[in-house]
Structure 1
Amino acid sequence: MTSFSKDKVTETFAHLHANPELSWKEYETTDFIKQKLEEAGCKVRVFDDCTGVIGDIGNFAEDTPVVALRADMDALWQEVDGKLQANHSCGHDAHMTMVLGVLWKLKDSPDLLDKIGVRFIFQPAEEVGAGALKLVEHGVVDDVDYYYGIHLRPFQETENGKAAPAIIHGATGSIEIEVRGDDAHGARPHLNSNSVEVGTYLVNAIHTIYLDPTIPHSAKVTRFQAGGQNTNIIPGNASLAIDIRAQTNELMEELQKQVYAVVNSANELFDSSVKITHEHGIAAACVDSDAQRIAQRAIELTLGKENTVEPIITPGGDDFHFYTIKKPHLKATMIGLGCDLGPGLHHPNMTFDRDAMYNGIDIMTEIVKLHAEGDVE
């Protein structure tokens, strides 16, 4: 009896899709994946201080290569059909299913596993840009030579049935700002700084930031909250959030400096305290040319050269790239999988061609085979 079957893939995806969990709260997902890894004979590791699970199979002797495959686990919190809920609208349910599919296919080739060590990394908290850094702390890639991820791509980027050997993600960041002052009566606007006006200044000033137009970038306010139920009160407090993106890490650094300058100018202009209270970001992609070349060959062998597309350049981000930044020895790339995904990533009603998952499984299985056979030059 074979380990791999389409029914098993379908059932696994259906379970994961129907049971989404938020970042750092992927408890049931961790337990479910752990069970699947153990059933397949993997050596399994979980963590005391976070969700996530890894499984090792094959030969981890000193002279054998170690290849890792990563799947992100968390869902988004968003309104779906009028109800706020956890929702797998970024494809992480598919990513987990595909990585498990590779495991099952490899189990049907035991001779192959004598030649290579394969680590399956199921990572929490990708959506908040923190899970990769946490697993780096736990040393999950310290002994890994090559590292591969995979991500569903919207139809606007990649046609169904095609795949790219790399996704060139941009750097992304989030900056949260608090405006603090005193409320005042609507009849006495001279007694305070109106936090709505302070926030409006921030919005307009951010829109005047101009950087190199040949490198994609953006900065925009994505949250602005001020005032209450009473319309005759001039609010003194407000909160704002800014989303910033740049295709390179260097331009992101410059963009951050410009936003900091806007915040400083608001402090000088208004009789309010304007402070950055929280910020986090994800680095731009650091794709290894060897890993990309091997991924391209695997795509050509499974889907054909005619269905192998150029690396995808996208302003979206992924914390996958923290692994290579923190562990420079890693050779890594992320495969972009065409799957007729629409209307788009993070849309509450996102759908895709689920049969495309078999393409992803075949590509990643072929990558492992190339490494096991030493056919990577």
Structure 2
Amino acid sequence: MEISEHLHTHPEISWKETETTEFIKTILVENGCRVRTFEDCTGVIGEIGEGKPVVGIRADMDALWQEVNGTFQANHSCGHDSHMSMVLGVLLSIQEMNQIPDGTIRFIFQPAEEKGTGALKMVEKNVVDDVDYLYGVHLRPIQEVENGMATPALFHGAARHITGEIKGEDTHGARPHLGVNAIEIGAELVQKLNHIHIDPMIPHSVKFTKFQAGGESANIIPGNATFSIDLRAQTNDKIEKLTTSVEEAVKSVSDYYGVLIDLSLESMMASAIVDPEAQAFMADSIQEVLGEENLVDPVTTTGSEDFHFYTLKKEHIKASILGLGCDLKPGLHHPNMSFDHGMIMPGVRILTNTVLKTLEHLNQSGS
């Protein structure tokens, strides 16, 4: 609980998790890990054991930047502080067993999950090149998994965030014929996005999440504006289809009004690629720790997770994420999110069992 309390009260936003990196590095070193950090980014890797097979377990490190009780601040409202605590708990549990793993256990503390770029950076750093199985964990809101229950797999959807800029010229409010109104262009874009349709059997959505145009003068028609679009789809191929449809819609509006509209891809998330064997090891561990009656079927969720870039970019990796029910409310990313901290230790035991089961299986099968 001391580790959890420290991490919760020292939140740091994406790519600025410097103190968090040092805090975790110290614990890893004190507990006999070989440690790797990076010169050009935050994040820290710890290892125990030697050689193959290699089982990885990953925790995300970053907090959100949001308004909490009237003040903007870093805030762990997505549970990443508890994820780090559980993965450190796995290390401490294995050390308490005084059990030398037959193979390598790699503890991956990854930055910038909220930006959707942290996992890609770890892939770039070759952190998972030799990993056979990879596990993660994420707290689940009460709307998905009840307190005291857990799911062995989370089927997150894919997501993309696109920003745009309408580049025109301001005109006098009395002479609208001399220019193009960026607000009218924005309204047209909203209508175009609402008319994007793909396979209705696959969950998806496209919507404006920000639009800014004009200044303080009410008699000026704004020619410039900036906007953001949020895209979601349950599969990677459908997020590609949505992206193409958005680009086509923007181009048609741009051509019709004769105004330049620039688009930029700000971030993206891959949809889940869950391995059945990894899911099975996790399910067995949930039953052992929480009981068969508290094992929940895999959850398909509208949220997204950059964890799935590991399996998208490295197809040899078998992976799954533990979804832990912990009375989390009102919901993820709510500034006053709360959860039952008593579920942290059961989460540690589930993850520990899963890692050890996987190593045992790999060694017995000679993989």
**Number of the residue aligned with 2:229:** 242
Give yes or no for the alignment of 1:52 onto 2:39.
no
The correspondence of residues 124-273 of structure 1 with structure 2, limited to 5 A, is: 124-273=111-260
How far the C-alpha of 1:319 sits from its partner, in A, is: 0.7
**Contact 1:71–1:95, Cα closer than 8 Å, also in 2:** yes
Give yes or no for the alignment of 1:303 onto 2:290.
yes
**Number of the residue aligned with 1:341:** 328
**Number of the residue aligned with 1:4:** none
Aligned partners of 2:118 and 2:265: how far apart in 1? 18
Name the aligned partner's letter for residue 185 of structure 2: V
Aligned partners of 1:372 and 1:330: how far apart in 2? 14
**Contact 1:181–1:271, Cα closer than 8 Å, also in 2:** no
**Contact 2:55–2:359, Cα closer than 8 Å, also in 1:** no
Structure 2: tracts of 5 or more residues without a match: none
Provide TM-score, normalisation by structure 1.
Answer: 0.94
How far the C-alpha of 1:37 sits from its partner, in A, is: 0.5
How far the C-alpha of 1:200 sits from its partner, in A, is: 1.0
Helix, strand or coil at the partner of 2:341? coil
Helix, strand or coil at the partner of 2:327? strand
Deviation readout 1:164-184 (Å, 9 max, x if unpaired): 110000010111110011100
**Contact 1:222–1:240, Cα closer than 8 Å, also in 2:** yes
**Number of the residue aligned with 2:108:** 121
State, as a whole percentage, how many aligned pairs show the same letter: 55
Aligned partners of 1:374 and 1:285: how far apart in 2? 24
Structure 1: tracts of 5 or more residues without a match: 1-9
Helix, strand or coil at the partner of 1:355? helix
**Number of the residue aligned with 1:274:** 261
**Number of the residue aligned with 1:108:** 96
Provide TM-score, normalisation by structure 2.
Answer: 0.97
How far the C-alpha of 1:275 sits from its partner, in A, is: 1.5
Helix, strand or coil at the partner of 1:262? helix
Give yes or no for the alignment of 1:31 onto 2:22.
yes
How far the C-alpha of 1:322 sits from its partner, in A, is: 0.6
**Contact 1:192–1:271, Cα closer than 8 Å, also in 2:** no
Aligned partners of 2:232 and 2:148: how far apart in 1? 29
**Contact 2:60–2:113, Cα closer than 8 Å, also in 1:** yes
Give yes or no for the alignment of 1:373 onto 2:364.
no
Name the aligned partner's letter for residue 327 of structure 1: K
Aligned partners of 1:271 and 1:159: how far apart in 2? 53
Name the aligned partner's letter for residue 91 of structure 1: G
**Contact 1:149–1:333, Cα closer than 8 Å, also in 2:** yes
The correspondence of residues 354-365 of structure 1 with structure 2, limited to 5 A, is: 354-365=341-352
Aligned partners of 1:178 and 1:114: how far apart in 2? 54
